[in-house]
């Protein structure tokens, strides 16, 4: 832990105007300095720096604080990280608190980690140099040229992006980097520890892990290289691509790198995220670099993994909103759905934009430029709406009825799984549109039974209006499996209540299900008001009814009809059995008339219990 005296020295030696002036153009105004706020977009300066007080307030967005706060907010660092950054800048030696043993152990750990960072920095320097000087690097430069990432001047956007992402080239030879490390006095064991070198099998020495690859440096929030991602290139001699190896080879996890906790491009995008008020998340390294090179600088990507809650938390340091810009294919849609959970857990506002068919963000940027990318991003919808629309577009464009049913079920499940009341309220606006789209597609596809889609509309409505979770001790619904199956079929398709073969048999139901049936008979068949229905039935059965309306079991009304009739027949058999038992009780009662009042009372109790089991009030 950094001592209080050290923190005080850092404060005294840090000139706040000079610190902030490195990233914000400041103009003196009286005793303060003013400039455009780095934390939000503005045209007139409302960001003030008051060196006498050591504070910076913004009267536009409310951000403020001291030197430590500024570094933490602009670079996404923790307080100890910001303190160390300022200490290094001010030339203050860090004095640790704690016991001598603790300080010695922490110092040794820092030196070991610093050695790893140094090795990665040297590797980045080597790869950058090879991209410019190695004769085989033409295959890497050709790949960049194919993607129109060729700088016309040392200061244009492409040059700045290539430099910021520290692109380089790993030669095809087996030990170029290993030899460079030896020349620099770096132990090959250190290169092995950070995943740059691997030991040779059966003999001494090490070989390079990355060979003939275009290298992307992975940089942490303190600007340190912590890993690499290498993209495959054609063989410099034959021009052929080795299809046996993966398109990308990534650094393994090391003491300084955890891929699920790292966001590619976040260091380069941190200012752009604050200015734009959102982070655009893409899938590939080239997508990030390509968009940055064309002026869309609030773009980042996960690193060879699904978007994780830890990555979402990192992004949240800079912006509360993310927009997913994944490929429009099935894999891209699946990636959006997986990312939804991480976004929700981090408390971010999530949106998704749809790319043109067959295009990835790099294609879009090359063909339509920054304006074309921004136009697509402007059409982004909330994640829930995006997933619903994607499911409909994918499933109902097909003639396969089973596939359409599966997509319909997916829509219902998406709505049912959303527990945020605000998001559900927003999604409610889409319920009528969903039903309308289904009805339209039903007509165009010539489906035989339009009631299937009418049922889906009710299910969607039920998902949007389902009640809060019931109390844990509340009954889950009918305990009798026969009654539960019969009532469930009715809830799947309430129009079965009008069936002339079914209507006369509904009297076989008793207890709470009778109240549910009565409420359904009074309800509209076209637009079931779930809230009104639940208000009319006992709370004890709310959970079962809500769950069945949201996730019906029967895909077709005929299936539900058959299930309902079969279970009503079972209830009829039960009733006949009970009636026979009641007749036997009545006969025994008559026979016992001459045997005294006690026997008569006993038989009356038995008959009352039998009636009670049937739900009859005497």
pLDDT of residue 618: 33
Q: Which CATH class is domain 266-379?
A: alpha beta
Give domain limits for the chain: 4-90, 102-256, 266-379, 564-613
| pLDDT score for 609 | 55
Report the CATH number of the 102-256 domain. 3.90.980.10
Report, in this order, helix, strand and coil percent for the chain, each rounded to 5: 55, 10, 35
Closest CA relative to residue 350, chosen from 335, 332, 336, 330: 336
381-418 pLDDT per residue, tens: 888 888 877 777 765 656 566 666 666 667 767 766 77
DSSP states along 20-81: HHTTS--EEETTEEEE--TTS--SS--EEEBTTTTBEEBTTT--EE-HHHHHHHHHT--HHH
Inter-residue contact 260 to 310 (CB < 8 Å): yes
State how beta strands 321-324 and 349-352 pair.
parallel
Which residues on adjacent β-strands are paired with residue 301? 264
The fold of 4-90 is DNA Primase; Chain A (3.90.580)
Question: Structure tokens of 335?
Answer: 């990636």
What is the distance between the alpha carbons of residues 503 and 497, in angstroms, rounded to a whole number?
6
The pTM of this model reads: 0.66
- Please give the torsion angle defined by the CA atoms of residues 55, 60, 63 and 65, in that order, rounded to the nearest 10 degrees: 0
Angle at 506 between CA 563 and CA 575, to 5 degrees: 90
The Cα 243–Cα 231 span in angstroms is 12
The ranges of the chain with pLDDT < 50 are 445-453, 468-476, 596, 598-599, 613-618
Cα end-to-end span (Å), the chain: 78
CB atoms near residue 108 (< 10 Å) = 10
Across-strand partners of 216? 229
Q: Are 337 and 387 in contact (CB under 8 A)?
A: yes
């Amino acid at each position: 832990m950094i001592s209080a005296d050290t923190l005080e020295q850092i404060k005294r030696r840090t000139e706040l105007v000079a610190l902030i002036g490195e990233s914000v153009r400041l103009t003196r105004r009286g005793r303060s300095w003013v400039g455009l706020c780095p934390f939000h977009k503005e045209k007139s300066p409302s960001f003030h720096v008051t060196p006498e007080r050591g504070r910076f307030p913004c009267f536009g967005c409310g951000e403020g604080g001291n030197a430590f706060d500024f570094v933490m907010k602009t670079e996404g660092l923790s307080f100890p990280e910001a303190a160390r950054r300022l200490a290094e800048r001010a030339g203050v030696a860090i004095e640790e608190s704690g016991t001598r043993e603790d300080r010695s152990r922490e110092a040794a750990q820092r030196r070991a980690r610093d050695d790893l960072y140094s090795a990665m920095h040297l590797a980045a320097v080597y790869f950058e140099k090879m991209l410019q000087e190695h004769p085989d690097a033409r295959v890497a430069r050709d790949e960049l040229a194919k993607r129109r990432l060729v700088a016309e001047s040392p200061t244009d956007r492409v040059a700045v992006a290539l430099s910021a992402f520290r692109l380089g080239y790993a030669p095809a030879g087996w030990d170029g980097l290993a030899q460079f490390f030896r020349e620099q006095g770096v132990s090959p064991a250190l290169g092995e520890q950070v995943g740059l070198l691997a030991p040779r099998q059966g003999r001494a020495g090490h070989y390079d892990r990355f060979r003939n690859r275009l290298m992307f440096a992975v940089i942490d929030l303190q600007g340190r290289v912590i890993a690499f991602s290498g993209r495959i290139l054609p063989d410099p001699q034959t021009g052929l691509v080795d299809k046996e190896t993966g398109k990308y080879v990534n650094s393994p996890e090391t003491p300084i790198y955890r891929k699920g906790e790292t966001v590619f491009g976040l260091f380069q995008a941190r200012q752009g995220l604050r200015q734009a008020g959102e982070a655009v998340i893409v899938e590939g390294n080239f997508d990030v670099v390509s968009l940055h090179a064309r002026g869309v600088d609030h773009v980042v990507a996960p690193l060879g993994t699904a978007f994780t809650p830890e990555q979402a938390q990192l992004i949240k340091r800079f912006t509360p909103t993310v927009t997913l810009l994944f490929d429009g294919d099935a894999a891209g849609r699946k990636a959006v759905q997986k990312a939804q959970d991480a976004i929700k857990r981090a408390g971010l506002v999530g949106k998704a934009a749809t790319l043109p068919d067959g295009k990835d963000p790099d294609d879009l940027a090359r063909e339509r430029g920054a304006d074309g990318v921004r136009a697509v991003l402007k059409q982004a919808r909330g994640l829930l709406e995006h997933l619903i629309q994607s499911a409909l577009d994918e499933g109902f464009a097909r003639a396969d009825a089973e596939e359409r049913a599966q997509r319909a079920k997916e829509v219902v499940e998406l709505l049912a799984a959303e527990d945020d009341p605000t998001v559900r309220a927003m999604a409610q606006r889409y319920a009528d549109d969903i039903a309308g789209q289904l009805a339209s597609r039903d007509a165009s596809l010539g489906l035989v039974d339009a009631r299937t889609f009418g049922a889906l509309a009710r299910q969607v409505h039920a998902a949007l209006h389902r009640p809060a979770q019931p109390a844990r001790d509340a009954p889950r619904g009918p305990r009798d499996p026969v009654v539960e199956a019969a009532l469930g079929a009715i809830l799947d398709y309430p129009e079965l209540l009008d069936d002339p073969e079914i209507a006369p048999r509904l009297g076989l139901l008793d207890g709470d299900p009778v109240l549910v049936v009565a409420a359904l008979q009074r309800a509209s068949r076209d637009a079931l008001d779930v809230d009104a229905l639940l208000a009319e039935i006992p709370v004890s059965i709310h959970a079962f009814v809500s769950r069945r309306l949201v996730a019906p079991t029967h895909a077709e009304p005929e299936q539900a009809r058959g299930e309902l009739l079969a279970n009503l027949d079972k209830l009829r058999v039960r009733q006949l059995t009970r009636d026979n038992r009641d007749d036997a009780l009545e006969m025994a009662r008559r026979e016992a008339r001459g045997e005294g009042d006690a026997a008569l009372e006993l038989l009356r109790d038995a008959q009352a219990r039998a009636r009670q089991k049937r739900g009859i009030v005497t």
